[in-house]
Structure 1
Protein backbone atom coordinates (compact mmCIF):
# COMPACT_ATOMS: atom_id res chain seq x y z
CA UNK A 1 0.00 0.00 0.00
CA UNK A 2 1.24 3.48 -0.87
CA UNK A 3 2.27 5.62 2.06
CA UNK A 4 -0.02 8.50 3.02
CA UNK A 5 1.23 12.07 2.85
CA UNK A 6 1.54 13.86 6.21
CA UNK A 7 -1.59 15.87 5.42
CA UNK A 8 -3.58 12.75 4.49
CA UNK A 9 -2.32 10.92 7.59
CA UNK A 10 -3.32 13.80 9.87
CA UNK A 11 -6.72 14.23 8.20
CA UNK A 12 -7.56 10.53 8.51
CA UNK A 13 -6.72 10.71 12.23
CA UNK A 14 -8.98 13.71 12.80
CA UNK A 15 -11.85 12.29 10.77
CA UNK A 16 -11.56 8.91 12.54
CA UNK A 17 -11.61 10.66 15.92
CA UNK A 18 -14.54 12.98 15.17
CA UNK A 19 -16.42 10.75 12.69
CA UNK A 20 -18.04 12.70 11.17
CA UNK A 21 -15.99 15.87 10.86
CA UNK A 22 -16.78 19.05 8.98
CA UNK A 23 -14.11 21.27 7.44
CA UNK A 24 -14.64 23.65 10.36
CA UNK A 25 -14.12 20.82 12.89
CA UNK A 26 -10.94 19.76 11.11
CA UNK A 27 -9.48 23.28 11.02
CA UNK A 28 -10.37 23.82 14.69
CA UNK A 29 -8.55 20.64 15.79
CA UNK A 30 -5.55 21.47 13.60
CA UNK A 31 -5.23 24.83 15.35
CA UNK A 32 -5.87 23.48 18.86
CA UNK A 33 -3.30 20.71 18.54
CA UNK A 34 -0.63 22.86 16.93
CA UNK A 35 -0.39 20.79 13.73
CA UNK A 36 0.32 23.95 11.73
CA UNK A 37 3.51 24.58 13.75
CA UNK A 38 5.18 21.24 13.10
CA UNK A 39 3.38 19.69 10.16
CA UNK A 40 3.36 22.63 7.72
CA UNK A 41 -0.35 22.30 6.96
CA UNK A 42 -2.22 25.13 5.27
CA UNK A 43 -5.90 25.46 4.45
CA UNK A 44 -5.47 24.65 0.76
CA UNK A 45 -3.49 21.50 1.58
CA UNK A 46 -6.35 20.39 3.85
CA UNK A 47 -8.93 20.56 1.08
CA UNK A 48 -6.56 18.99 -1.46
CA UNK A 49 -5.88 16.20 1.06
CA UNK A 50 -9.59 15.62 1.63
CA UNK A 51 -10.12 15.33 -2.12
CA UNK A 52 -7.27 12.78 -2.42
CA UNK A 53 -8.61 10.74 0.50
CA UNK A 54 -12.06 10.75 -1.08
CA UNK A 55 -10.62 9.66 -4.46
CA UNK A 56 -8.77 6.78 -2.73
CA UNK A 57 -11.99 5.66 -1.05
CA UNK A 58 -10.61 6.33 2.45
CA UNK A 59 -13.33 8.86 3.30
CA UNK A 60 -16.83 9.66 2.13
CA UNK A 61 -18.57 13.00 2.31
CA UNK A 62 -22.13 14.21 2.48
CA UNK A 63 -23.77 17.59 2.73
CA UNK A 64 -25.11 18.12 6.23
CA UNK A 65 -28.71 19.27 6.67
CA UNK A 66 -27.62 21.35 9.67
CA UNK A 67 -26.71 24.94 8.95
CA UNK A 68 -25.58 27.65 11.31
CA UNK A 69 -25.17 31.15 9.98
CA UNK A 70 -24.68 32.19 6.38
CA UNK A 71 -22.93 30.27 3.65
CA UNK A 72 -23.36 26.84 2.11
CA UNK A 73 -24.43 23.76 4.01
CA UNK A 74 -21.41 22.15 5.70
CA UNK A 75 -19.94 18.97 4.28
CA UNK A 76 -19.33 16.16 6.76
CA UNK A 77 -16.53 13.65 6.20
CA UNK A 78 -16.68 10.01 7.34
CA UNK A 79 -13.86 7.49 7.39
CA UNK A 80 -14.54 4.29 5.46
CA UNK A 81 -13.52 0.78 6.48
CA UNK A 82 -10.76 0.91 3.85
CA UNK A 83 -9.68 4.27 5.27
CA UNK A 84 -9.55 2.90 8.81
CA UNK A 85 -7.40 -0.02 7.64
CA UNK A 86 -5.06 2.39 5.82
CA UNK A 87 -4.87 4.58 8.93
CA UNK A 88 -4.04 1.64 11.22
CA UNK A 89 -1.39 0.35 8.78
CA UNK A 90 0.18 3.81 8.51
CA UNK A 91 0.26 4.27 12.30
CA UNK A 92 2.15 0.96 12.72
CA UNK A 93 4.68 1.86 9.99
CA UNK A 94 5.25 5.40 11.30
CA UNK A 95 5.59 4.44 14.96
CA UNK A 96 7.99 1.64 14.19
CA UNK A 97 10.22 3.18 11.54
CA UNK A 98 10.04 6.95 10.98
CA UNK A 99 12.96 9.26 11.70
CA UNK A 100 12.45 12.67 13.20
CA UNK A 101 15.39 14.80 12.17
CA UNK A 102 16.10 17.76 9.96
CA UNK A 103 18.57 16.45 7.38
CA UNK A 104 19.50 19.99 6.30
CA UNK A 105 20.76 20.70 9.83
CA UNK A 106 22.87 17.53 9.60
CA UNK A 107 24.29 18.74 6.29
CA UNK A 108 25.11 22.08 7.91
CA UNK A 109 26.94 20.31 10.73
CA UNK A 110 28.94 18.32 8.20
CA UNK A 111 30.00 21.60 6.56
CA UNK A 112 31.23 23.34 9.76
CA UNK A 113 34.88 23.48 8.59
CA UNK A 114 33.91 25.73 5.68
CA UNK A 115 32.68 28.66 7.78
CA UNK A 116 35.21 28.92 10.60
CA UNK A 117 34.70 28.46 14.32
CA UNK A 118 33.50 32.00 15.14
CA UNK A 119 30.84 31.94 12.41
CA UNK A 120 29.80 28.43 13.46
CA UNK A 121 29.48 29.49 17.12
CA UNK A 122 27.41 32.54 16.15
CA UNK A 123 25.12 30.49 13.89
CA UNK A 124 24.65 27.82 16.56
CA UNK A 125 23.86 30.47 19.20
CA UNK A 126 21.17 31.79 16.85
CA UNK A 127 19.89 28.23 16.58
CA UNK A 128 19.66 28.09 20.39
CA UNK A 129 17.62 31.30 20.32
CA UNK A 130 15.39 29.83 17.62
CA UNK A 131 14.95 26.60 19.61
CA UNK A 132 14.15 28.55 22.79
CA UNK A 133 11.44 30.53 20.99
CA UNK A 134 9.98 27.38 19.42
CA UNK A 135 9.98 25.65 22.81
CA UNK A 136 8.28 28.62 24.46
CA UNK A 137 5.55 28.66 21.79
CA UNK A 138 4.85 24.93 22.03
CA UNK A 139 4.77 25.05 25.84
CA UNK A 140 2.37 28.02 25.79
CA UNK A 141 0.03 26.23 23.38
CA UNK A 142 0.28 23.05 25.49
CA UNK A 143 -0.65 24.96 28.66
CA UNK A 144 -3.50 26.82 26.93
CA UNK A 145 -5.00 23.53 25.72
CA UNK A 146 -5.03 21.97 29.21
CA UNK A 147 -1.56 20.32 29.47
CA UNK A 148 -1.76 17.26 31.73
CA UNK A 149 -5.57 17.18 31.52
CA UNK A 150 -5.38 16.39 27.79
CA UNK A 151 -5.81 12.80 26.60
CA UNK A 152 -2.50 10.99 26.05
CA UNK A 153 -2.75 11.00 22.24
CA UNK A 154 -3.07 14.82 22.32
CA UNK A 155 -0.47 15.40 25.09
CA UNK A 156 2.19 13.52 23.14
CA UNK A 157 1.71 15.88 20.17
CA UNK A 158 3.17 18.53 22.45
CA UNK A 159 5.50 16.48 24.66
CA UNK A 160 7.41 14.82 21.81
CA UNK A 161 8.55 18.08 20.16
CA UNK A 162 9.22 19.59 23.60
CA UNK A 163 11.58 16.74 24.48
CA UNK A 164 13.22 16.78 21.04
CA UNK A 165 13.86 20.52 21.27
CA UNK A 166 15.25 20.24 24.81
CA UNK A 167 17.56 17.44 23.68
CA UNK A 168 18.71 19.45 20.68
CA UNK A 169 19.40 22.45 22.94
CA UNK A 170 21.76 20.27 25.00
CA UNK A 171 23.39 18.94 21.83
CA UNK A 172 23.89 22.38 20.26
CA UNK A 173 25.27 23.80 23.54
CA UNK A 174 27.81 20.95 23.62
CA UNK A 175 28.92 21.70 20.04
CA UNK A 176 29.31 25.39 20.92
CA UNK A 177 31.43 24.47 23.97
CA UNK A 178 33.63 22.17 21.90
CA UNK A 179 34.07 24.83 19.19
CA UNK A 180 35.01 27.40 21.86
CA UNK A 181 37.57 25.00 23.35
CA UNK A 182 39.05 24.35 19.90
CA UNK A 183 39.18 28.10 19.20
CA UNK A 184 41.09 28.71 22.47
CA UNK A 185 43.58 26.01 21.58
CA UNK A 186 44.34 27.63 18.21
CA UNK A 187 44.77 31.24 19.35
Structure 2
Protein backbone atom coordinates (compact mmCIF):
# COMPACT_ATOMS: atom_id res chain seq x y z
CA UNK A 1 0.00 0.00 0.00
CA UNK A 2 1.37 3.37 -0.96
CA UNK A 3 -0.52 5.40 1.66
CA UNK A 4 -1.75 4.63 5.15
CA UNK A 5 -5.52 4.92 5.66
CA UNK A 6 -5.01 8.20 7.52
CA UNK A 7 -2.80 9.60 4.75
CA UNK A 8 -5.28 8.57 2.07
CA UNK A 9 -8.17 10.09 4.01
CA UNK A 10 -6.44 13.45 4.36
CA UNK A 11 -5.18 13.44 0.77
CA UNK A 12 -8.64 12.44 -0.47
CA UNK A 13 -10.26 15.33 1.38
CA UNK A 14 -7.77 17.77 -0.16
CA UNK A 15 -8.43 16.26 -3.61
CA UNK A 16 -12.15 16.71 -2.97
CA UNK A 17 -11.55 20.39 -2.17
CA UNK A 18 -8.26 22.23 -1.59
CA UNK A 19 -8.18 23.36 2.03
CA UNK A 20 -6.05 24.07 5.05
CA UNK A 21 -5.67 22.06 8.23
CA UNK A 22 -8.45 23.75 10.17
CA UNK A 23 -10.92 23.12 7.33
CA UNK A 24 -9.86 19.47 7.30
CA UNK A 25 -10.51 19.19 11.02
CA UNK A 26 -14.02 20.56 10.51
CA UNK A 27 -14.81 18.09 7.71
CA UNK A 28 -13.35 15.17 9.70
CA UNK A 29 -15.48 16.13 12.69
CA UNK A 30 -18.68 16.77 10.70
CA UNK A 31 -18.50 13.51 8.78
CA UNK A 32 -17.55 11.38 11.79
CA UNK A 33 -14.40 10.20 10.04
CA UNK A 34 -12.72 9.33 13.35
CA UNK A 35 -15.29 6.55 13.72
CA UNK A 36 -13.46 4.54 11.03
CA UNK A 37 -9.89 5.81 10.83
CA UNK A 38 -7.20 7.01 13.22
CA UNK A 39 -6.75 10.71 12.59
CA UNK A 40 -6.18 12.72 15.72
CA UNK A 41 -6.56 16.49 15.72
CA UNK A 42 -2.83 16.90 16.31
CA UNK A 43 -1.93 14.51 13.49
CA UNK A 44 -3.64 16.46 10.70
CA UNK A 45 -0.76 18.93 10.29
CA UNK A 46 1.78 16.13 10.60
CA UNK A 47 0.03 14.21 7.80
CA UNK A 48 -0.24 17.33 5.63
CA UNK A 49 3.49 18.05 6.04
CA UNK A 50 4.35 14.42 5.28
CA UNK A 51 2.21 14.40 2.12
CA UNK A 52 3.72 17.71 1.05
CA UNK A 53 7.28 16.40 1.55
CA UNK A 54 6.40 13.37 -0.61
CA UNK A 55 5.25 15.69 -3.38
CA UNK A 56 1.60 14.65 -3.11
CA UNK A 57 0.37 18.07 -1.91
CA UNK A 58 1.59 21.58 -2.58
CA UNK A 59 0.76 25.22 -1.86
CA UNK A 60 0.45 27.03 -5.22
CA UNK A 61 1.47 30.42 -3.84
CA UNK A 62 3.60 30.98 -0.77
CA UNK A 63 1.16 32.83 1.52
CA UNK A 64 2.07 35.37 4.13
CA UNK A 65 -0.42 33.65 6.44
CA UNK A 66 0.66 31.34 9.26
CA UNK A 67 1.46 27.74 8.34
CA UNK A 68 -1.94 26.59 9.62
CA UNK A 69 -3.72 28.78 7.02
CA UNK A 70 -1.85 27.51 3.98
CA UNK A 71 -4.37 26.12 1.51
CA UNK A 72 -3.03 22.83 0.20
CA UNK A 73 -3.74 21.42 -3.25
CA UNK A 74 -3.12 17.94 -4.61
CA UNK A 75 -0.38 17.38 -7.14
CA UNK A 76 -0.91 15.20 -10.20
CA UNK A 77 1.24 12.55 -8.50
CA UNK A 78 -0.91 12.89 -5.36
CA UNK A 79 -4.02 12.16 -7.42
CA UNK A 80 -2.37 9.12 -9.05
CA UNK A 81 -1.11 7.65 -5.76
CA UNK A 82 -4.49 8.27 -4.09
CA UNK A 83 -6.31 6.55 -6.95
CA UNK A 84 -4.00 3.50 -6.87
CA UNK A 85 -4.27 3.16 -3.10
CA UNK A 86 -8.05 3.62 -3.22
CA UNK A 87 -8.40 0.86 -5.82
CA UNK A 88 -6.25 -1.49 -3.74
CA UNK A 89 -8.23 -0.84 -0.56
CA UNK A 90 -11.57 -1.38 -2.27
CA UNK A 91 -10.62 -4.41 -4.36
CA UNK A 92 -8.57 -6.41 -1.85
CA UNK A 93 -10.40 -8.25 0.90
CA UNK A 94 -8.04 -7.97 3.84
CA UNK A 95 -8.56 -9.21 7.36
CA UNK A 96 -8.70 -6.45 9.91
CA UNK A 97 -8.08 -6.74 13.62
CA UNK A 98 -11.27 -6.98 15.64
CA UNK A 99 -10.81 -6.68 19.41
CA UNK A 100 -14.21 -8.32 19.99
CA UNK A 101 -12.85 -11.55 18.53
CA UNK A 102 -9.91 -11.47 20.96
CA UNK A 103 -12.38 -11.17 23.81
CA UNK A 104 -14.61 -13.97 22.49
CA UNK A 105 -11.56 -16.21 22.03
CA UNK A 106 -10.99 -15.87 25.78
CA UNK A 107 -14.49 -16.71 26.98
CA UNK A 108 -13.12 -19.34 29.34
CA UNK A 109 -12.03 -16.46 31.59
CA UNK A 110 -15.62 -15.29 32.11
CA UNK A 111 -18.76 -16.67 33.63
CA UNK A 112 -21.79 -17.07 31.41
CA UNK A 113 -23.44 -14.15 33.22
CA UNK A 114 -20.40 -11.88 32.69
CA UNK A 115 -20.35 -12.69 28.98
CA UNK A 116 -24.06 -12.02 28.60
CA UNK A 117 -23.78 -8.70 30.45
CA UNK A 118 -20.82 -7.68 28.28
CA UNK A 119 -22.87 -8.49 25.16
CA UNK A 120 -25.80 -6.44 26.46
CA UNK A 121 -23.50 -3.52 27.24
CA UNK A 122 -21.92 -3.70 23.80
CA UNK A 123 -25.35 -3.89 22.17
CA UNK A 124 -26.54 -0.77 24.00
CA UNK A 125 -23.36 1.11 23.05
CA UNK A 126 -23.66 0.00 19.45
CA UNK A 127 -27.29 1.11 19.24
CA UNK A 128 -26.30 4.54 20.59
CA UNK A 129 -23.46 4.76 18.08
CA UNK A 130 -25.76 3.83 15.19
CA UNK A 131 -28.21 6.52 16.26
CA UNK A 132 -25.42 9.11 16.50
CA UNK A 133 -24.06 8.22 13.07
CA UNK A 134 -27.53 8.36 11.50
CA UNK A 135 -28.07 11.78 13.10
CA UNK A 136 -24.70 12.98 11.77
CA UNK A 137 -25.55 11.65 8.32
CA UNK A 138 -28.91 13.43 8.23
CA UNK A 139 -27.42 16.66 9.61
CA UNK A 140 -24.97 16.79 6.70
CA UNK A 141 -27.52 17.45 4.01
CA UNK A 142 -26.27 16.50 0.57
CA UNK A 143 -23.01 14.58 0.81
CA UNK A 144 -20.36 13.76 -1.76
CA UNK A 145 -20.89 10.23 -3.11
CA UNK A 146 -17.84 8.94 -1.23
CA UNK A 147 -19.10 10.22 2.13
CA UNK A 148 -22.52 8.69 1.48
CA UNK A 149 -20.92 5.33 0.72
CA UNK A 150 -18.86 5.50 3.94
CA UNK A 151 -22.00 6.16 5.97
CA UNK A 152 -23.88 3.38 4.16
CA UNK A 153 -21.15 0.76 4.59
CA UNK A 154 -20.46 1.69 8.22
CA UNK A 155 -24.13 1.53 9.15
CA UNK A 156 -24.58 -1.84 7.40
CA UNK A 157 -21.61 -3.31 9.30
CA UNK A 158 -22.90 -1.99 12.60
CA UNK A 159 -26.39 -3.27 11.83
CA UNK A 160 -24.96 -6.74 11.11
CA UNK A 161 -23.11 -6.68 14.42
CA UNK A 162 -26.24 -5.47 16.20
CA UNK A 163 -28.20 -8.41 14.76
CA UNK A 164 -25.48 -10.85 15.84
CA UNK A 165 -25.40 -9.38 19.35
CA UNK A 166 -29.19 -9.48 19.67
CA UNK A 167 -29.17 -13.12 18.57
CA UNK A 168 -26.43 -14.03 21.06
CA UNK A 169 -28.22 -12.27 23.92
CA UNK A 170 -31.51 -14.00 22.95
CA UNK A 171 -29.80 -17.42 22.72
CA UNK A 172 -28.34 -16.81 26.15
CA UNK A 173 -31.76 -15.87 27.53
CA UNK A 174 -33.34 -18.98 25.93
CA UNK A 175 -30.63 -21.20 27.45
CA UNK A 176 -31.31 -19.79 30.91
CA UNK A 177 -35.04 -20.34 30.53
CA UNK A 178 -34.49 -23.96 29.43
CA UNK A 179 -32.21 -24.53 32.44
CA UNK A 180 -34.83 -23.11 34.79
CA UNK A 181 -37.52 -25.30 33.20
CA UNK A 182 -35.34 -28.41 33.67
CA UNK A 183 -34.68 -27.52 37.29
CA UNK A 184 -38.39 -27.10 37.93
CA UNK A 185 -39.15 -30.42 36.20
CA UNK A 186 -36.51 -32.18 38.32
CA UNK A 187 -37.89 -30.71 41.55
For Structure 1 versus Structure 2, the TM-score category normalised by the shorter chain is 0.7 to 0.9
- Give the Cα–Cα distance (whole angstroms) in 2 for the partners of residues 104 and 33 of structure 1: 24
Bigger radius of gyration among the two: 2
By how many angstroms is 1:126 displaced?
Answer: 0.1
Q: Report what 1:151 is aligned to.
A: 144
Q: Report what 1:12 is aligned to.
A: 11
By how many angstroms is 1:98 displaced?
Answer: 4.7
Number of matched residues? Answer: 179
- Give the Cα–Cα distance (whole angstroms) in 2 for the partners of residues 78 and 110 of structure 1: 46
Asked if 2 retains the 8 angstrom alpha-carbon contact of 1:59 and 1:78, the reply is yes
Where structure 1 has 5 or more consecutive residues not aligned to the other structure, the ranges are none
Could you tell me the TM-score, scaled by structure 1's length? Answer: 0.84
Q: Are positions 1:56 and 2:49 aligned together?
A: no
Q: Write 1 or 2 for the structure with the bigger share of strand.
A: 1
Where structure 2 has 5 or more consecutive residues not aligned to the other structure, the ranges are 181-187
Q: Are positions 1:84 and 2:79 aligned together?
A: yes
Q: Are positions 1:174 and 2:167 aligned together?
A: yes
Could you tell me the TM-score, scaled by structure 2's length? Answer: 0.84
Q: Report what 1:160 is aligned to.
A: 153
**1:84-103 → structure 2 map (5 Å cutoff):** 84-99=79-94, 102-103=97-98
Q: Report what 2:111 is aligned to.
A: 116
Deviation readout 1:85-127 (Å, 9 max, x if unpaired) = 1100110111012547552111111222320211100000000
- Give the Cα–Cα distance (whole angstroms) in 1 for the partners of residues 95 and 121 of structure 2: 21
- Give the Cα–Cα distance (whole angstroms) in 1 for the partners of residues 47 and 163 of structure 2: 37
- Give the Cα–Cα distance (whole angstroms) in 1 for the partners of residues 95 and 126 of structure 2: 16
Task: Report the aligned-residue RMSD.
Answer: 2.2
- Give the Cα–Cα distance (whole angstroms) in 1 for the partners of residues 67 and 157 of structure 2: 42
Deviation readout 1:63-89 (Å, 9 max, x if unpaired) = 346x7xxx6782111111211111001
By how many angstroms is 1:174 displaced?
Answer: 1.3
- Give the Cα–Cα distance (whole angstroms) in 1 for the partners of residues 86 and 132 of structure 2: 27
User: CA distance change for structure 1 residues 122 and 153 in 2, over 3 Å: closer, same or farther?
Assistant: same
Asked if 1 retains the 8 angstrom alpha-carbon contact of 2:20 and 2:68, the reply is no
Q: Report what 1:139 is aligned to.
A: 134
User: CA distance change for structure 1 residues 115 and 79 in 2, over 3 Å: closer, same or farther?
Assistant: same
Mean Cα deviation higher: 53-62 or 167-176: 53-62
By how many angstroms is 1:170 displaced?
Answer: 0.4
